[in-house]
Structure 1
């Protein structure tokens, strides 16, 4: 269940009042450079991946859970972005990502084997509980022989589920910033859809945004 605009505005006001964020005209609320969430959004990870460097910063680590699940276990927006259905079989990689040993986001990447494994085996490595230093999008693009072309994200406020609350050390039902990030390769293929939930919102907006190469 989502939260009201009033709740989202209250969260934004609290971030401004504590000096953690500022308003950028035409964009929305942006986290201040001194905040612990600086550089941890999908956009920041995307830039590090394109530069050929590791996805995570030196003071970051993650705890992973990988597996398969029916589409009915994924958020509806993930199914829409993957062009999947509740009956589709999906692969997921869930990470609780820590910075300086403090949890700052629960990130879950979703993949559609029916799309990725048409010609070569792509998802087997995604099911290994090992780090993919170059990032799963770069790995998938290389396996498919296609170039990454951009990503598109939808930002909103949601309530913390019990597992998210436990991982992020917040109360169940508290508002979280959720970014749903769809990564594409040439041809418009959605190779990965990730959900990122943050207890301290790095950006609060109510619109959609795209980043292309």
Structure 2
């Protein structure tokens, strides 16, 4: 069981731990979260502190309390960010939650667009490995994403060129094949109108608003390991970390 840290209030540490489980998909909609009594015992805190952590989750819209029954995960339409996907892969060995699956629509060598070359530190006009996928759930497409890798990574990780799914997640596979470990990531996010390709892949009306995330993973030597672009449809929540104002 995770240990209490002094950097944050105890109730927030507990709430953030449960929130991460919800966003990773480890706790599914309709499932019961640990009770006040269980949280107090597991985290070695008082019952009021445990109750406050559940209240914080309720205020975030993640859980609902049912009188005389318990506290349950609410039904949510969530855009899972790379942070949640990586966390799930490292915890469970699988990147997707039950009911989610990816279809690889394109994979192989291609000349890197200028913004991809810049992100990976490649000279203009150089080829790179790309891997495009559409992630789906029971309601249809939820994300269109493309991962890009430098030539040396592509040569050492041949499954990137195949159209078969990599169940443990692309990054974990690349780490294993190259010996380079992802250390941190940077995301840039913007909203814009969809391209024709994006609208078709996500089953949207042409010109619909979408969320675009450009994501770079750096290794322990601060070298770019993966550049990815993910396009998300509208009307789904994307959750971010809380932060202090003082």
Instruction: Tell me the TM-score normalized by structure 2.
Output: 0.62
Does residue 36 (structure 1) correspond to residue 74 (structure 2)? The answer is: no
Distance change in 2, residues 1:37/1:85 (3 Å): farther
Segments of 5+ residues of structure 2 without an aligned counterpart are: 1-59, 63-74, 241-246
Distance change in 2, residues 1:86/1:173 (3 Å): farther
| Residue 32 of structure 1: how far off its partner (Å) | 5.1
- Equivalences for residues 21-170 of structure 1 within 5 A: 33=62, 34-38=75-79, 40-65=80-105, 66-72=107-113, 76-113=114-151, 115-116=152-153, 121-170=155-204
Alignment partner, residue 193 of structure 1: 227
Given that 2:193 and 2:210 are in contact with CA atoms closer than 8 Å, whether structure 1 keeps it comes out as yes
Does residue 172 (structure 1) correspond to residue 206 (structure 2)? The answer is: yes
- Equivalences for residues 15-26 of structure 1 within 5 A: none
Q: Secondary structure at the match of 1:45?
A: helix
CA distance in 2, matches of 1:204, 1:56: 17
Which structure has the larger Rg over C-alpha atoms? 2
CA distance in 1, matches of 2:148, 2:213: 14
Give the RMSD, CA atoms, in angstroms: 2.2
CA distance in 1, matches of 2:61, 2:207: 26
Alignment partner, residue 65 of structure 2: none
Distance change in 2, residues 1:79/1:61 (3 Å): same
Q: Which has the higher contact order (CA 8 A, sep 6+)?
A: 1
CA distance in 1, matches of 2:223, 2:176: 14
Segments of 5+ residues of structure 1 without an aligned counterpart are: 1-30, 206-213
Q: Which has the higher strand share?
A: 1
Q: List per-residue Cα deviations over 1:2-33 (Å, max 9, x = no partner).
A: xxxxxxxxxxxxxxxxxxxxxxxxxxxxx954
Given that 1:177 and 1:204 are in contact with CA atoms closer than 8 Å, whether structure 2 keeps it comes out as no
Q: List per-residue Cα deviations over 1:61-91 (Å, max 9, x = no partner).
A: 111121221113xxx4433221124401011
Q: Which has the higher helix share?
A: 2
Given that 1:141 and 1:185 are in contact with CA atoms closer than 8 Å, whether structure 2 keeps it comes out as no
Q: Would you say how many aligned residue pairs link Structure 1 and Structure 2?
A: 167
CA distance in 2, matches of 1:77, 1:51: 32
Given that 2:95 and 2:169 are in contact with CA atoms closer than 8 Å, whether structure 1 keeps it comes out as yes
